Amino acid sequence: MRLLLVEDDPDLSRQLKDLLEEAGYAVDVSFDGEDGHFLGESENYDAVILDLGLPVMDGVSVLKKWRDADRDMPVLVLTARDNWSDKVAGLDAGADDYVTKPFQVEEVLARVRALIRRSVGQASPELKCGPVVLDTISGKVRIDGRPVRLTAQEYKLLSYMMHHPDKVISRTELTEHIYDQDFDRDSNTIEVFINRIRKKTSNDLIRTVRGLGYQLDGERS
Ligand code: CA
C-alpha cells in the first residue's frame, strides 16, 4: 500500500512518515500544495494524507482539483484546531475523513488503515484468504494459525494483494503500490517476491495469470 503525505511542517512530516513506513506503507512526501497536487494526479496512491494549510496551493484547492479530475483515492485531511469551517470545507471538497491538530500520530495511522479498508470494501482489519490471515493492525501474517515471517517488501506485496482478493494484478500495478517514488523500481523482482511468499505460505495462494499478472486464489489453498 502506497501513501502520499502532503504536510509542510518538516518535523510532523518526518514523524508521520517514520510511523507509516514502520507500519508497512510505502510513503511519498510533499511539502507544498503544488507539488502534492502533481503527485496525487500523476501517481496511484492507496490513500492520501493532506494538510489543509499549505504553501503555494492550499489543501482544499488541491483536493478540489483532484476530485474535479476524477482522482478518487481516499483522502484524510489534517485541520487546525477549533477551526470547524476548515473541516466543513475539507469534507465538502471531497475528503473522506479528517484529524484535528494537534493529534497523536497513531490516530492518523488508524484512520488511514480504516480509509484504505473501506475504499476496497473490506470491513475487518483482519484480511483472510483461505488459510492465510493478514492482520493490518499488528502487521502479522499467519497460515493455519502459524506465524509467517515476511520481509518488509514481501509484506507490502501480500498486503496489497489481500486488499484486492479477486483482482488480477499486473506486475506494473504491484510495483506502483509497494515502492515509494525514490525507490529504484524493478518489476522483475516482483516475481521473486511472489515465489518467496508462496514458499513461506502456500504454493496455491497466488495464481499466475499468464500475460496478465497474479491473482489470490483463496478457494484452492
Ligand atoms: Ca501546514
> Tell me: the pLDDT tens digits for 21-48?
999 999 999 999 999 999 999 999 999 9
- Cα–Cα distance, 59 to 221 (Å, whole number): 45
pTM for the full predicted model: 0.94
Q: Which residue has the higher pLDDT, 91 or 184?
A: 91
Tell me: the pLDDT tens digits for 141-195? 999 999 999 999 999 999 999 999 989 999 999 999 999 988 877 777 899 999 9
Domains of the chain: 2-119 (3.40.50.2300), 126-216 (1.10.10.10)
**Percentage of residues of the chain with pLDDT beyond 70:** 98
Going from the Cα of 33 to the center of ligand 1, the distance in angstroms, rounded, reads: 10
Task: Tell which residue, 74, 68, 82, has the closest CA to residue 50.
Answer: 74
Place of cell 503555494: 56
The per-residue pLDDT for 221 is 44
Going from the Cα of 56 to the center of ligand 1, the distance in angstroms, rounded, reads: 11
Residues with CB under 5 A from ligand 1 (ion): 8, 51, 53
The per-residue pLDDT for 216 is 94
